Chains A and B, each alone.
Chain A
């Protein structure tokens, strides 16, 4: 999971490009070092060979074949020329002097510098040493070979080559590991920011991104995001406070108004028209007051203070009571309201609030479901979690609207004229949130299915 994220991360891709570029440059530099070192070593040895050859060539010109044989023998006896290789042959390629036993077959007679592997071990050295030599065929037909054993040079350049290759490989491996570690760290930090964002989107605005205390740029990003969240939380609180205050403060004068109207309604000298006008006004006032009560109630639930009264309750018992209460209403619509599932589904919670939430969902199902339809309230224990679902077979809600229905005062276009104030599902959401329950909306094809996933009861 984290590895896939690491490999997909843009930081990692950037690191790969950097490693690639850096690697190409390093390889070029190392190759240059290798090539120039080996050619320098070779040119040094070539100069020595040429000097030796020039001197022997001079001896041949001055003192002829015998003089050269004497000089070669003298050289072979000299410790200073231990690395040197000589061979003088007559036109029939019979060796006349030197430490090679035969004229190497692979070497052309044309002359010049050449490189070849000796046919036999030289002196005490094991194996067939690599030789580099200058070759000349004199006008008499005699041939001279003046060379050097360059096995040591060769193994030296081989070592350089090995060092260069392993150096480059090591750099690639280290850079790869380093970039994975760095990327993983970055991905880690971004993941923690992402996780917090997701939690916040699930309406847990009091969450904050953890700081590492390293005071690096990530901590600063997290710090700033946290400050932003503080600000958003304050603003949200203020907005909620305003709507709560409006609900609360308007309630007192509205209650008084209601009192006066009620007095007028029951007054003695009141005509029938006036009475029905006042009666309707009281009804409207009651609707407004009820809406305010709902807002206050939702806010009160959202403060989490009700958690103190939590105890273990049986969802099935509560759901049965709801079903029983709404049975008459369903019957009136010709709807069949039934309960299904397990007999005991325990949750830790507030009985009244859970009742209210289930009642709201059942009420919605009856109102918005199909007349003469079927509503099933099912309680289940699924993987240690308590689940209640309320399913109808009505027209359902378009998937695109699912997110909005929990907003305060939200009403679907086609239900704008059915009774209700658009606060029912906000209350369900608030109750669910208080209980740490997740709400799921599913297509019951046809119809709508609400599923509430509670966490297992604790203690």
Chain B
């Protein structure tokens, strides 16, 4: 495993927010470097290898996206998480998902930040090429879009399959409701209802109903986690 796997560069100019981000990422087991401006971010980003870089959209000198593009031009392939205020979510930010990067809308909970960073960090070192994914006794076939437990097929609607696939790909990691909305539905807003919970509830009944053990677990206050029992 490369030395950069547990190092994260946080680019944030507000001292208190920066302090909180650094604290929670440190608690989450990461080593954290802090840059307080776009130019510092460019210097540090090019100098050392990081698992993930989080960049605030509004920096005193540069736009977060400009910083990201410049890092890419300098040959830095590290995944970037752009932290953006809601009013700043535009087409450029929404376009991030295509490049394997991600964005997070302020205000966010630090559990959410951690979940995003975990997901991004994982993506950078494992590229899943298999067409069959397995967690415990659950198997999902990405080609035929079939899911089954202990060989017994689970009937899922296309979107339900997508949701399950996303959970499986992030096996063992917390996936927030906002991440589900963005990655499964390609929605960039918060419908501000429990709609996701209800939806996941239905998928959960199909996947976990009358099985030896549950796979989809609720993580209070943040979202869900799919994992097999130890």
Contact = CB atoms under 8 A, between A and B. Distances in A.
Interface string B80-117: 00000111001100000000000001110111000000
B4 to A, nearest CB: 26
B91 A254 contact: no
Interface string A344-370: 000000001001100110010000000
Contact of A328 (B109, B199, B221): B199
- Among A252, A309, A329, A363, the one with the most B-chain Cβ atoms within 10 Å of its Cβ is A329
A290 B195 contact: no
Contacts of A325: 159, 185, 195, 199
B43 interface: no
Contacts of A266: 27
A352 B87 contact: no
A238 to B, nearest CB: 19
Given A255-B107, A259-B20, A262-B109, A359 B221 contact: no
Contact of B191 (A251, A256, A259, A359): A359
B198 A329 contact: yes
A321 B192 CA distance: 17
Contacts of A299: 87
Interface in B164-221: 185, 187-195, 198-199, 201-202, 221
A326 B110 contact: no
A332 B109 contact: no
B20 A263 contact: yes
Contacts of A254: 107
Contact of A356 (B85, B189, B198, B199): B189
Contact of B20 (A248, A260, A331, A419): A260
Contacts, number: 83
A258 interface: yes
B24 A263 contact: yes
Contact of A255 (B17, B90, B157, B159): B17
B107 A297 contact: no
B190 to A, nearest CB: 7
Nearest to B159: A324
Contacts of A331: 202
List 9 A-B pairs, minimum CB-CB distance, nearest first. Answer: A255-B107, A259-B20, A328-B202, A329-B198, A328-B198, A328-B199, A293-B86, A300-B87, A296-B87
15 contacts: A251-B106, A251-B107, A255-B106, A259-B20, A260-B20, A262-B111, A263-B110, A266-B27, A279-B221, A296-B85, A324-B159, A325-B185, A328-B195, A328-B202, A331-B202
Interface of A: 248, 251-252, 254-256, 258-260, 262-263, 266, 279, 282, 289-290, 293-294, 296-297, 299-300, 309, 321, 324-326, 328-329, 331-332, 352, 355-356, 359-360, 363, 419, 421
